Amino acid sequence: MNLRDRVALNIQELRRARGLSQEELAHRAEVSRGHMGKVENAKFAASLDLLEHIAKALNVNPEELFTKR
């Protein structure tokens, strides 16, 4: 599994564990729902800045987005 796929799956898992919709996470991370969908489906390589916003929206350390689960 490449890093983009790992990050995408981790974001999905963390979002679902918190009971957030993709739209709500996108709102909290200040991006469009469509953009968030592309990140979660590994169709788009998120910038480090965006990953920091997503981690903050999920209330996790950014490192958790890269952790093998």
Amino acid 1: pLDDT: 85
Summarize the confidence of residues 5-29 as an average pLDDT.
97
Report the alpha-carbon distance of residue 2 to residue 27 in Å, rounded: 27
- Band the pLDDT of 69: cuts 50, 70, 90: confident
pLDDT-derived band at 61 (thresholds 50, 70, 90) equals very high
d(CA 37, CA 31) in angstroms, rounded, equals 10
21-42: average pLDDT: 97
Please give the Cα distance from 22 to 40 (Å, whole number).
9
* Model pTM above 0.85: yes
Statement: residue 22 has pLDDT above 90: yes
